[in-house]
Copies of this chain bind each other. A is one copy, B any other.
Amino acid sequence: MSAVKPEDTVILYDPEKDKKYIVNLAVTSGKFNTEKGEIELESLVGLPYGSEVKTHLGHVYYLLPCTLYEFIMYKLRRLTQIIYPKDAAYIVLRLDVKPGDLVVESGIGSGALTAVFAQLVGPEGKVVSYERREEFVKNALSNLRRFGLADRVEVKLRDIEEGFDEREEADALFLDVREPWLYLDRAYAALKPGRMLGVLLPTANQVIETLKGLKELPFIDVEVCEILLRRYKTVPERFRPEDRMPAHTAYLLFARKLKGEKSGSV
């Protein structure tokens, strides 16, 4: 059974209130204050996940691992609109991201998608993130550090106007910038032949411009889609969807780099 490591992000779960606290052991130390007393954080290291821990007042909490999903949804510090798990999940599958891959992205945002890339490429892989706003870089790196993923991410603090340093090296390339159609040729240059480009586009106008831009370059297999996540209430006697749901985060666009010329109509 897995034991807590000093750099882990853990959950302290109060079973009476069905309430969770997420704690980054690497950045938080000393006593942790809950509604029902204090817990000495150092005492958690080495305990098996699932253990009961008690506050100094004797109240029981459970020690649980924090998933990347929970970290993104509840703990990530946001300076920007984040890329949500429903979208991030489909993006990594469509881009075919695997352990060992080199993934290139711009910009870093708050680091949510960066974290998903970093978790999936594993210790052998690498994420290179281009971002020109220093405050975003600082915040995203702080987020990544708190989830133990910062060492797989290299940040380049600059605009992609000058292009990416990678030349036909990226196993996957993702653009989350305001005017992605300006950088499609740079993205093309950085990607390995045959590999996938992904683009996040909040508005239909942006999709239209990007589709126009793609026609000028040897990209094939262009797909535009949106992912809708609809949650249900979990009372078995009254099974029904939640009352409200997110209606839109962004359109997702994917295309594959073809080495060489496209013929006319493709």
Interface positions of A (Cβ within 8 A of B): 1-2, 11, 13, 15-16, 18, 48-52, 62-65, 67-69, 85-86, 88-90, 92-94, 96, 98-100, 116, 119-124, 168, 192-196, 202-205, 207-209, 211-212, 215, 220, 222-248, 251, 256-263, 265-266
Q: Give A227's nearest chain B residue, CB to CB.
A: B229
Query: What would 12 more interface pairs be, CB under 8 Å, given A50-B193, A89-B89, A228-B230?
Result: A15-B266, A52-B259, A64-B194, A69-B94, A85-B93, A99-B122, A203-B239, A204-B207, A205-B208, A207-B236, A211-B239, A241-B247
Chain A interface SS verdict (over half): mixed
Which one of B13, B15, B228, B238 contacts A227 once the chains associate, using CB atoms below 8 Å?
B228
Task: Please determine whether B239 and A243 come into contact, CB atoms closer than 8 angstroms.
Answer: no
Task: Please determine whether A15 and B242 come into contact, CB atoms closer than 8 angstroms.
Answer: no
A-B contact pairs, 12 of them (CB 8 A): A15-B261, A49-B195, A50-B258, A50-B260, A90-B90, A204-B204, A225-B231, A225-B232, A227-B227, A227-B229, A228-B230, A242-B247
